[in-house]
Each structure stands twice: as C-alpha cells, then as structure tokens.
Structure 1
Amino acid sequence: MPIAARRVFRLSLAMSIALATSYGMDANLPFIAPLFAFLLGADPKPPMGLKGLLGLILVLSLMLGSGLLLIPILTYHTMTGLIIVLLGLFFANYLSLNKGKGPVGLLLTIGITLISALGVMGPSLAMMIISALLLNIAIAVVCQWLVYPWFPEDNVSTAPPPHSEPLQSSWLALRATLVVFPSYLLVLYNPTAYAPIVMKSVALGQQANETAAKHAGVELLGSTCLAAVFAMVFWFCLKLVPNLFMFWLWTLLFSGFLLAKFYGVLASAFGPTFWQNVTVTLFILVGPAVEDTINGKDPYVASAVRIALFIGVTLYAWMMLLLLENLRKRQALKRQPAV
C-alpha cells in the first residue's frame, strides 16, 4: 500500500476508534477525542510511547493548570487578568512558530483560554474540563498504538521543518493572538454558549499563520462553509440509524475522505491546511450537536447558532489578517531607504 494511503487508513481508524471509545466510556466532552487523535497523529511519524504519554499528561496538567491560576485574577482584577491572558496567548503562539512546538503551544492556548473562561463559572467546572481533556488525550494516544502496527511508516528519516525568522515569527504570533483574543472575550461573557468557538478560533489562528492574506478568504471562509455542509450531511446520515456503531462508521468514512484530501491521495485544488480546518470544524459542529440531543436541547437551533458564530469568527479572522498584512507592508515601505 502506498505510504499516503497508509496514513489515511491509520489516522481515520485512530480517530473513529477514539470517538467510539470515548462515547462508550461515557466520558465528558467525548467529541474531542477524535480531534486530539487528528492533532497528535497528523504528522507522519510513529506515535509516542508510554513514557512520552506520561510526560505529555504531566506537562499538559501543568499547562492546563495555568488556566486555574488565572481564575481569581480574572474574578477580582479583570483588566490585569486580561492582559496576562493576552501575553500568554502571544507566548503560546510564539512557542508554536519560533520554537517548532506546535502541539505544546496549542495545548497551552487551550489551557489559558478555555480553562480560565469556564473556571469563572466555578472551579469544579474547570477541573471537569481538565480531567476530560487528559482522558481524551490518553484515549487518542492508545488508539494510535492499536492502529499503527497495521499501517506503519517507512523507515525514512525526514528533515525537520525550517523555522521562521524571529521577526516573522513574532509578527505571526501577534496575528494569531489577535484572532483568538476576541473569541475569548465572548466566552467570558457567556461560557456555556460560546465555548465551542474557542476551539474554532484557535484552529483559525494556527491556520492564519500558514495562509497568505490574498488567499485567506478561500482558505478560511471556504473551509468553514464546506465543513458546515459536511456536518449537515453527517448529521442526516447519522439520523438514519442513530447508534454508536453507525456513529463510528460514519466517522470512519467522513474522516477517511477528508484525510485522503489532506494527504493528497485524492486530487484537490486546496492545500493541506484547508482540509485540516474542514476536519477540525466538522467534529466541533457534529460533536456538540450530539450532546444537545443527549441533554434534551434542540440540535438544529444550536447548530445554526454555532455555524453563524463560526462564520462570524472566520470573517473577523480574515479581516484581521488583511488589516495587519496591509499595516505591515506600509511599515516595510517606510523603512526602505530613499533612492
């Protein structure tokens, strides 16, 4: 089997098994298990070992705990807490870009934003979110262990990706920070209603770093709208036979198709970042809709609100990208010496 096809089968199976396992265990936030399986397994390399998993759980506990430390500051000294969050977001994005630690920066961003925002409602809720994140990450890694021997990588060493220049990384980190921060303010205003857009804005911030401003509309807005269409089709397919086995099967089929586009097995006019955003947004939309049915809410109204919020956040990210890029070009022209 070609290596690209092996990667598609490996990652789609890991994502679908992680979803079925998390729902079967009745874990909190089960829909994030396939998201972590995708984020941790998208790079073409073997999964981390037991020592790496234990180290990741320990580091993640410390990073998510940083959100708990922000709760009293946000409660009693709001402006100081917001400034600390803004600086923390910049540091997390800079860590991802300049130091090449993408997963670490992503998890630190989640800890700073999601944990601190939900913790304002109560520390017990924040602790529940932390335990759910840790459990679902462990489920995702174990599922990678089960699948990897059947679809292994070739024994070919790959060169590490080149890092950006410090000035370029600082600029991109600032751009990603300004994309995420307004969504964080919305979550502080109403944590239960706006919590899903934190994950979406974090994904947009990471994608905006790899997207040129002139292509941002197609990359950001196009992928979000396409993910909404996929989520609608996924939902109506799941309604035909709504049980866990069919949920696993549809996850396998949809993720397999999207990952075939992501890895280039199927021809596409868009790059990997486009299909990465489609995949992440799809599960952010479908998972909470399933949770709405379990909790007795109307999934159609809630999903429509989420899609509208996601499109609004995407439009803001696009406008911010264009504004900052134009500002940067003007500053570069001013610094050029006169001929």
Structure 2
Amino acid sequence: MPIELRRRRAWRLAWGAALSLAASFGIGLPVPILAPVLCVLLLAMRTAALPLRLAPVLAVLVLLSCGSGLLLIPLLRHAPLTGVLLVALGLFWVFRYAQRGGNGLLANLLVIGLTLVAGAGTRDFELALSVVEAMAKGMLLAVLCTAVAHGLCPEPAHAPAPAQAPSVVADAGWIALRATLIVMPAFLLALVAPDRFMPLIMKAVSLGQQADGTEARQAARELVGSTLLAGVLAMLLWGALSLFVHLWMLFLWVLLAALWQARRLQRLVATRHSPAYWVSCLTTLLILLGQSVQDSLAGQDVYRAFAVRLGLFVLVSLYASVMLVWIDGRRRGVGV
C-alpha cells in the first residue's frame, strides 16, 4: 500500500478522534465518550465516507439495536438469574455472528444494548433511556465527524481497501465464548452500580472485540499492554492539558496522541503489535481522558477516580488474558 495513502488514513483517524471528543464536550452530550469511540470504530472499519443522509438511518439503527436491552430490564429486575443467562446467550450469539463475517458495527451496537442499556435499566429505567438517547446522539455526531475527517483527508479514487483478517468460522464458537466470558464480569458489576461501571463495560467490550485472534498468548499480552499504554498516554495528556485548560487544547493534545497511534496502526512506524492493539489503545485513551474531564467538570477528585478506573481496567485486562489462555487450552484439548 502506498505510503501517502497510509498517511492520509492515519491523519483521518486522528482528526476524527480529536474532533468527536472536543465536539462532544463542546455541545454538552450527556455521555461524551460515546461519540469518539463510535467515530474511531467507523474510521477503523471503513475507508469510504458514510453519506450524511445515512446518519438518521444509523441513529434509528442505534435506537433499535440498543433498545433491545430495554426488553431485558424486567427480567433482570424480577428474575435476575434468567436475565443474566439471556444476556450471556445474547452476547455469545452476537460475538459469533461477528466472527462469521457479520456486520461489525451492528455487532458492537447490539453488545452495547445488551450490556450498557440493560445494566443501566436495573437501577433506573430513565437512566437506560438516557443511555439509548446518548447513543443515538453520539452516532449522529460520529457520522458528522467522520465526514469532516474524510473531507480533510479524502480517500483517493480506486484506492485499495485495507487487508481484512480472515474469518475463522471453525473457531468462531470458541472465540465468541471467550469474548462473552470477558464481558460478563463487567456487566455483573454494572448491575450493582451502573453509573460507576459504565466505562468498565465499554473497556470490556473493547477487550472482547480485541480478543479475536487465534494466537492466545500474543493476544493476552496485547490486551494488558494496550491498557497500560493507554493509561500512560492519558496521564501525559492530562498533565499537558493542566498547563492550559481549554477545549481547543484538549482537541490539539488528543489530535497529537491519536496521530502517534494511528501512524503505528497504519504501519508508517514499525511495530510488532496488531492493528487491534492500537485501536483498543486509542479507544481506552479516549475513555480514560474523557472520564477524567467529566470528573473535573463535576468537581470530583480526578486523580483518585482515574487511579481506581485504571486499576479496574488493568484488572479486567488481566482477567481477559487468563480467559484467552484458558479457553485456548480447552479448544486445543478437545482438538477443535
């Protein structure tokens, strides 16, 4: 692939991540970390720009897919064990659907609906509705920011598509099982305090999507490594942002950090890590930094909240690594 094309794609991803995060705080979205995460997913999965006329269609898709979690709220409240088992089965089906070549964006939306929305609704139905509304608004903003990023760094005509990882249909069930086991503990914690553990669910979903390779030990190292690197970058960006607190400085620092990672994602800088590592690292950075900005605006202890949040992220990453190695051993043991 030409170097110039990879540079354009790296700049496009950086512009999209920085624009969506700054715009989310600028217009006061209720959950400002959703739009940048969705924007990164859209830019990482697609090289062609989404037409703006499809934005309302995607928003309706978000409402339908994430609204599926609303149907599970009565079961989770009145028959918790049955509700949890249905969530686990739903996650397994969605992850297997994605592994068999299904639409990645739809799979992510369904996973969010089954976890974030359903978990929030166990505490307060209005909170679940606000999460669905925030998802729809975040999707609209993400599509707009991807369009701006494509306008700044357009894809050349007849440009080759990035190489896609081959789907491993034979191992789809095992990969879906370990992704489900990675997400479920975070979901169970969210049932206790959904407002506190929503970022943890998003991190667990990111880990579940990252753990899609068949080389378990390498994937396990990347799960923990991407989380730790994101934590270091978030601390550096927060320290730089504290020198001059302004929305434009947040945009510029995120643009710089996202470009540093996007260059490695596009192989402009030699790296031994997979593209999933850098996508996960960038989304984790956006979650950590965005939540810290929210804590600051709410008058909370930013450093204590960041330490607790990063500690939970590292713990769930370590747990995910154990699940990867254990499931891989079971798969090899039965000769699949």
Give me the TM-score of the superposition, normalised by structure 2. Answer: 0.94
Q: Find the structure with the greater CA-based Rg.
A: 1
Correspondence for 1:64: 66
Whether the aligned pair in 1 keeps the contact of 2:37 and 2:286 (CA below 8 Å) is yes
Change (3 A) 1:283 1:73: same
**After alignment, is 96-105 or 209-218 more displaced?**
209-218
CA drift at 1:303: 0.6
Whether the aligned pair in 1 keeps the contact of 2:14 and 2:259 (CA below 8 Å) is yes
Pairing of 1:152-163 with structure 2 (within 5 A): 152-154=154-156, 155-156=158-159, 158=161, 161=164
Secondary structure of 2:68's match?
A: helix
Whether the aligned pair in 2 keeps the contact of 1:175 and 1:321 (CA below 8 Å) is yes
**After alignment, is 97-106 or 199-208 more displaced?**
97-106
Percent identical among aligned pairs is: 36
Pairing of 1:276-291 with structure 2 (within 5 A): 276-291=279-294
CA drift at 1:321: 0.8
Correspondence for 1:83: 85
Give the ranges of 4+ consecutive aligned residues of structure 1 lying more than 6 Å apart after TM superposition: none
Change (3 A) 1:222 1:91: same
Q: 1:317 aligns with which of 317, 320, 323?
A: 320
One-letter amino acid of the structure 1 residue matched with residue 150 of structure 2 = Y
One-letter amino acid of the structure 2 residue matched with residue 232 of structure 1 = M
Q: Distance in 1 between matches of 2:165 and 2:246?
A: 45
Q: Distance in 2 between matches of 1:183 and 1:42?
A: 25
Q: 1:20 aligns with which of 7, 19, 22?
A: 22
One-letter amino acid of the structure 2 residue matched with residue 121 of structure 1 = R
Correspondence for 2:110: 108
Change (3 A) 1:148 1:131: same
CA drift at 1:165: 4.4
Q: Distance in 2 between matches of 1:159 and 1:31?
A: 27
Q: 1:208 aligns with which of 211, 226, 230?
A: 211
Q: 2:332 aligns with which of 322, 329, 332?
A: 329
CA-to-partner distance for each residue in 1:205-241, whole Å, 9 max, x for gaps? 1111126112134211111111111111011011011
Whether the aligned pair in 2 keeps the contact of 1:9 and 1:151 (CA below 8 Å) is yes
Is 1:301 the counterpart of 2:304? The answer is yes
Whether the aligned pair in 1 keeps the contact of 2:174 and 2:327 (CA below 8 Å) is no
CA-to-partner distance for each residue in 1:9-47, whole Å, 9 max, x for gaps? 112112212222221111111122221111011135222
CA-to-partner distance for each residue in 1:302-338, whole Å, 9 max, x for gaps? 1100111011101111111111111111111xx8xxx
One-letter amino acid of the structure 1 residue matched with residue 86 of structure 2 = I
In structure 2, list runs of 5 or more residues that go unmatched: none
CA drift at 1:171: 1.5
Q: Distance in 2 between matches of 1:159 and 1:317?
A: 28
Correspondence for 1:134: 136
Q: Distance in 1 between matches of 2:227 and 2:264?
A: 16
CA-to-partner distance for each residue in 1:235-256, whole Å, 9 max, x for gaps? 1011011111111111111111
Correspondence for 1:223: 226
CA drift at 1:62: 0.7
CA drift at 1:271: 2.0
Give me the TM-score of the superposition, normalised by structure 1. Answer: 0.94
Q: Distance in 2 between matches of 1:239 and 1:227?
A: 18
One-letter amino acid of the structure 1 residue matched with residue 12 of structure 2 = R
One-letter amino acid of the structure 2 residue matched with residue 68 of structure 1 = L
Correspondence for 1:99: 101
Q: 1:257 aligns with which of 250, 256, 260?
A: 260
Q: Distance in 2 between matches of 1:145 and 1:275?
A: 22
One-letter amino acid of the structure 2 residue matched with residue 227 of structure 1 = A
Secondary structure of 1:267's match?
A: coil
Whether the aligned pair in 1 keeps the contact of 2:75 and 2:83 (CA below 8 Å) is yes
In structure 1, list runs of 5 or more residues that go unmatched: none
Correspondence for 1:166: 169
Change (3 A) 1:76 1:139: same
Secondary structure of 2:129's match?
A: helix
CA-to-partner distance for each residue in 1:148-185, whole Å, 9 max, x for gaps? 13322232354884753433112211111111111111
Is 1:37 the counterpart of 2:5? The answer is no
Change (3 A) 1:269 1:159: closer
Change (3 A) 1:217 1:90: closer
**After alignment, is 84-93 or 44-53 more displaced?**
44-53
Correspondence for 2:9: 7
